Structure 1
Amino acid sequence: MTAPIFSLLAAAFYLGGTLYQIRCLMRRRSASPNLLRAIGVVALLSHAGSLYVQMVTADGLSFGFFHVSSLIAWLVLAVILMFSLRAPVTSLLIVLFPLALITDVLAWLFPGHGAALIPGKSAVLVHVLLSILAYGILTIAAFQAALLAVQNNQLKHRNPVRFNRTFPPLQTMEALLFQFLLCGEVLLTLALISGFIFLDNMFAQNVAHKTLLSCLAWVVFGILLWGRHFRGWRGSYAIRWTLGGFLLLMLAFFGSKMVSEFILPI
């Protein structure tokens, strides 16, 4: 009964944080960053307890579809809360709290469906954890790009709705986007290198599409970072390339995992 208690406690705090932000939005005032961080920390601790109970087994670590989704959401939120101590990123929490809530509940309701078990001391675990870190950071970049698109659209049409008022300036949002992209690209590079080192064949039939799509995403993010540095790309260029690379990455990971666990389970 431990996992349900942790999951429900985390869900309650995620829901409370979401409702608080919506209330502030409706009243046209800024949410308290300190209160949001406090809610987020308690929710993360409860969420971590739920993940630990569900994923750590006697045979190894369980990496089922919903487990990994929940872990990535946890990681994304943890990074944002730490980053919020030195940068204005708490506006992202209005999207991340509900996302963490949904993945937390789904991981509890559907534990271990077709889950892959990886021994705790396996070298493959290094590749898996690096991949999850990369996906987590690049997920933050994708949300940042989506919010940047909303903000850019509203300003372009000279219609700054109340939702826009919670955002930092465009220049700040854009700078944060490229910081996340650079960090995510480095982690994705390490994940791909570790995969070629620790896996027998990265282009085996069951993982070839995943490897190809991940490499394509790596190229897309690399071109975007090059364009930013040498050509000064920004605005719509940054948004489109970020979301395009993220789509490839999600198809690589979640698409292949969904097929292997739910459509064509082995």
Structure 2
Amino acid sequence: MHPLLPSLAAAFLYAGAALYQGLRLSQRGTPDKRLLALLGVCALFFHGGSLFMQMHSEAGLSLDFFNAASLIAYAVILLTLLSCIRIPVENLLMLLFPLGCLTVLLAQFMPTGTSQPIMEQPGIRLHILLSVIAYGMLTIAVLQSLLVLLQDHQLKHKHPSGLIKNFPPLQTMESLLFGFLWAGWLMLSLSLLSGALFIENLFAQHLAHKTILSCFAWVVFAVLLWGRHQLGWRGHKAIRWTLAGFCLLMLAYFGSKLVREFILHI
């Protein structure tokens, strides 16, 4: 089966779910959580099928720039849907469903880079899994921080929109933000540790920039969590540190991958 059909089906379902949620919120209504979850699960089913066909080959795991972006979007949406079972984070889906739609289409239609297939040794698979989960959790944290920023701004100016009225209290939103940050930082720690253990000569294989920037991001998130615990950091300061760490992490992975595959062709 060609990956085109599941890719288009996933994009259609993501777009439909985003449109439904956006219309309900614009009308100051509350989207049906079960319908959102159903649309999201169906989209993930087709998204996962297209990813499997695009990434697996006889030579190994094909994890080029757009496949990697699609895989991380898949992980982020999956983690968010699972989180919705216990905590009120369904408003994040309004940002994530369009992201899923965009990345699944880019992975299908954009030209592939020059990355070499990855041999699927168990240690390497574990490192990739931990990395994707870490990026996913920290992406959710960044989106959550932007919603906290929007909520704080509208509450201070006393003009809450229909979207904000569906949010939990600001203190709850900040608690969720730091919960995601803790989870993402711990997974990033395990990812770096697994890379040191299972990747031979970590600073070769064009991985030096990725490794160094990832370590800087780890330090930024560690300082942020220390500041929250020891100094009570919150609000704009916490959001600035979150965005700084995330930018370093995205430069580490997507920046280096973009340069290697589409500029240097290595």
TMscore range, shorter length: over 0.9
Greater shift in the superposed pair: 91-100 or 202-211: 202-211
1:252 counterpart letter in structure 2: A
Q: Output the CA distance in 1 between the equivalents of 2:37 and 2:96.
A: 13
Helix, strand or coil at the partner of 1:219: helix
Q: 1 CA distance for matches of 2:89 and 2:193? A: 31
Partner of 1:106: 106
Which residue does the alignment assign to 2:147? 147
Listed as ranges, the matches of 1:157-176 within 5 Å are: 157-176=157-176
SS at match of 1:239: helix
Q: Deviations over 1:105-148 (max 9, x none)?
A: 00011264323311223532322221111111111111111111
Letter in 2 for 1:71: L
Decide whether the 8 Å contact of 2:27 with 2:162 is kept in 1: no
Provide the rounded CA distance (Å) in 2 between the counterparts of 1:26 and 1:147: 16
Shift of 1:198: 1.7
Q: CA deviation at 1:175?
A: 0.9
Bigger shift: residues 188-197 or 117-126: 117-126
Q: In structure 2, what is the Cα distance between the partners aligned to 1:249 and 1:118?
A: 21
CA distance in 2, matches of 1:221, 1:177: 12
Change (3 A) 1:111 1:41: farther
| Cα distance in 1 for residues equivalent to 2:167 and 2:262 | 38
TM superposition shift of 1:157: 1.5
SS at the partner of 1:2?
coil
What residue is the counterpart of 2:233 in the other structure? 233
RMSD, aligned CA = 1.4
Fraction of identical pairs, as percent: 52
Question: Does the 8 Å CA contact 2:113/2:265 hold for their aligned counterparts?
Answer: no
Following TM superposition, where does structure 1 have runs of at least 4 consecutive aligned residues deviating by more than 3 angstroms? Answer: none
- Verify: 1:211 aligned to 2:211, yes or no: yes
Flag structure 1 segments of 5+ consecutive residues without an equivalent. Answer: none
Equivalent residue for 2:242?
A: 242
- Per-residue deviation, 1:162: 2.1
Whole-angstrom CA distance in 1 between matches of 2:213 and 2:135? 13
Distance 2:115 2:104 in 1: 16
Separation in 2 of the partners of 1:240 and 1:258? 25
TM value normalised by structure 1: 0.96
> How do residues 47-196 of structure 1 correspond to structure 2 at under 5 angstroms?
47-110=47-110, 112-196=112-196
Select between 158-167 and 173-182 the one with higher mean Cα deviation.
Answer: 158-167
Give the alignment's TM-score, normalised by structure 2. Answer: 0.96
Q: Deviations over 1:145-201 (max 9, x none)?
A: 111111111111222122312322111111111111111111111111111122222
1:36 counterpart residue number: 36
Runs of 5+ consecutive residues of structure 2 not aligned to the other structure = none
* CA distance in 2: counterparts of 1:122 and 1:62, whole angstroms: 16
